[in-house]
C-alpha cells in the first residue's frame, strides 16, 4: 500500500504527495522514461538533480532483454540501474500493440513475436505481474490491451471489457507489499459510457491508483481533453490519477487542470536526441543555421548545466559534428525543463493561482 496526501485542492486539480517505501513523489509529477533500465543519455544522479522523484521502466522491453529473471538475479531494477527512488513499470500492453510483430490476442493474453529477433512470447496478466515483481517495481500496472485508434464503438467495448477481465486477474496475481502499489487502467476509447463502465469496474476491484490509458494515440489534444473532462472525475478522489504517455508541456498543463496527478512521456528525451529543446520561449531546433554563431544560452531563464555552461553555437556544433554530447546536453535540459514546469505547477496550485498560470501558459503554447 501507498499513501496519497492531498495538500491543496481546487474544484478539479490538486497538489499532493504519494508516499512509497522508496520515497515521496510530489504531485503533479512527471516521470522520465527509463524504458530499458536507463533514461537515455543520463546518469541516474543527474536525473535526480533535475527534480525527478520517480522514473518509469517497461515490462515489455525488460522481459526481452536482459529478462526479468536476470534483473532479479542482479538485485532488482533499482540496484541494476543505480536508481534508489520509486520506479513505476508499464505492464507491456502498449508496447505489444505498437512494437510487437504478429501478435495474437486471446482471453488468456497475448502471444507475440519480439520486434528484436522474432522470438515468440506469451504475455498474460499473471506473467506481467510476475515480471514486475521480479523487477521490484514500486508501482505495478495492471495488464491491459491499449485500445487502438481509431476504433469503432464495438471494438472499443470488446477491448475495454477484455482489459477489465485482465485487471481482475492482475489484481489476483499481484503480491501486495508494504510501500508498493498496483494501479488499474481505464480504457474505453473515445466513448464516455465505455469509460464510465471501465472506471466502475476498476473501482469495484479496488486499486491503489488509477491510470487513464488509450489516449495520446492520435486523437488530438482537443479530443483528449474532452475525454479527460469526464474520465478523471469518474475516478476516486483520494487516489492518484495517472495519464499514460502524455505528453507535450501544453498537454500536461491542460491535463492537470482536469484532475491528473502523474505523467510520463518519451518526448523530452526523444526530442533532445534529435536537437529539439523546450524553452521558456517555446520549442527550438538547435540544428537550425541561425544558432551557429549564437553566443547566448539555450534558455536564459534556465539554470540547468546545459544552459548555464554552454552556448547555442556550441550545441549547434555538437549536433552538426554528430557528437554524442549534444543529445546528452539537450536531453538533460529537456528533463530539467519538464521538472521545473511540474514544480511551477505545484507552486501555482498551492498559491491558489493555477487557473491564471494555465491560461497564460496555454495561450503562449497556442
| Number of CB atoms found within 10 A of residue 103's CB | 15
What residues contact residue 176 under an 8 Å CB cut-off, 6+ apart? Answer: 1, 182
| Number of CB atoms found within 10 A of residue 310's CB | 18
Question: Do 246 and 216 touch, CB atoms closer than 8 A?
Answer: yes
Question: Do 143 and 178 touch, CB atoms closer than 8 A?
Answer: no
Which backbone phi and psi does 312 adopt, to 5 degrees? -60, -35
- Residue 117 catalytic? no
| Number of CB atoms found within 10 A of residue 154's CB | 8
From CA 307, how far away is CA 292, in angstroms rounded? 16
From CA 296, how far away is CA 280, in angstroms rounded? 14
Let me know the angle formed at the C-alpha of 133 by 64 and 141, rounded to the nearest 5 degrees: 85
- Residue 264 catalytic? yes
User: Among the options 144, 251, 261, 264, which is catalytic?
Assistant: 264
Cell numbers that stand for 149 in this block? 485508434
Question: Do 346 and 27 touch, CB atoms closer than 8 A?
Answer: yes
Question: Do 235 and 241 touch, CB atoms closer than 8 A?
Answer: yes
What residues contact residue 36 under an 8 Å CB cut-off, 6+ apart? Answer: 58, 61, 62, 65
Rg of the chain over Cα atoms, rounded to whole angstroms, equals: 20
* H helical segments located in the chain: 44-49, 59-64, 68-73, 77-81, 93-98, 125-135, 153-173, 192-205, 221-231, 249-257, 267-273, 305-309, 312-320, 325-351, 354-365
User: Among the options 90, 251, 261, 299, which is catalytic?
Assistant: 90
What single string gives the DSSP state of each residue in 170-186?
A: HHHH----TT-EEEEEE
| Number of CB atoms found within 10 A of residue 238's CB | 9
Give the active site residues. Answer: 90, 264
Amino acid at each position: 500500500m501507498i499513501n496519497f496526501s492531498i495538500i491543496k485542492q481546487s474544484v478539479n486539480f490538486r497538489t499532493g504527495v504519494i508516499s512509497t517505501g522508496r520515497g515521496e513523489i510530489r504531485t503533479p509529477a512527471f516521470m522520465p522514461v527509463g524504458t530499458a533500465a536507463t533514461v537515455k543519455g543520463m546518469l541516474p544522479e543527474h536525473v535526480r538533480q533535475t527534480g525527478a522523484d520517480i522514473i518509469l521502466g517497461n515490462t515489455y522491453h525488460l522481459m526481452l532483454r536482459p529478462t526479468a529473471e536476470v534483473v532479479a538475479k542482479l538485485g532488482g531494477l533499482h540496484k541494476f540501474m543505480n536508481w534508489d527512488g520509486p520506479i513505476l513499470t508499464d505492464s507491456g500492453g502498449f508496447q505489444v500493440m505498437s512494437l510487437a510483430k504478429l501478435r495474437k490476442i486471446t482471453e488468456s493474453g497475448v502471444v507475440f513475436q519480439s520486434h528484436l529477433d522474432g522470438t515468440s512470447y506469451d504475455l498474460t496478466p499473471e506473467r506481467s505481474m510476475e515480471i514486475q515483481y521480479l523487477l521490484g517495481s514500486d508501482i505495478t500496472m495492471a495488464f491491459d490491451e491499449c485500445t487502438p485508434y481509431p476504433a469503432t464503438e464495438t471494438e472499443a467495448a470488446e477491448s475495454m471489457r477484455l482489459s477489465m477481465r485482465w485487471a481482475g486477474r492482475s489484481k489476483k496475481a499481484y503480491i501486495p507489499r508494504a510501500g508498493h502499489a498496483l494501479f488499474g487502467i481505464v480504457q474505453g476509447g473515445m466513448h464516455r459510457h465505455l469509460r464510465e463502465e471501465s472506471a466502475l469496474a476498476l473501482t469495484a476491484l479496488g486499486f491503489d491508483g488509477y491510470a487513464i490509458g488509450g489516449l495520446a494515440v492520435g486523437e488530438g489534444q482537443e479530443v483528449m481533453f474532452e475525454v479527460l473532462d469526464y474520465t478523471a472525475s469518474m475516478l476516486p478522489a483520494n487516489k492518484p490519477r495517472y495519464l499514460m504517455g502524455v505528453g507535450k508541456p501544453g498537454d500536461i498543463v491542460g491535463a492537470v487542470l482536469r484532475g491528473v496527478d502523474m505523467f510520463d512521456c518519451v518526448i523530452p528525451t526523444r526530442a533532445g536526441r534529435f536537437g529539439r529543446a523546450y524553452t521558456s520561449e517555446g520549442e527550438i531546433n538547435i540544428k537550425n543555421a541561425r544558432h551557429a554563431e549564437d553566443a547566448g544560452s539555450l534558455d536564459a531563464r534556465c539554470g540547468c548545466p546545459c544552459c548555464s555552461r554552454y552556448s547555442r553555437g556550441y550545441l549547434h556544433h555538437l549536433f552538426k559534428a554528430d557528437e554524442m554530447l549534444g543529445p546528452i546536453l539537450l536531453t538533460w535540459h529537456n528533463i530539467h525543463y519538464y521538472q521545473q514546469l511540474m514544480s511551477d505547477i505545484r507552486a501555482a496550485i498551492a498559491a491558489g493561482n493555477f487557473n491564471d498560470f494555465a491560461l497564460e501558459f496555454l495561450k503562449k503554447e497556442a
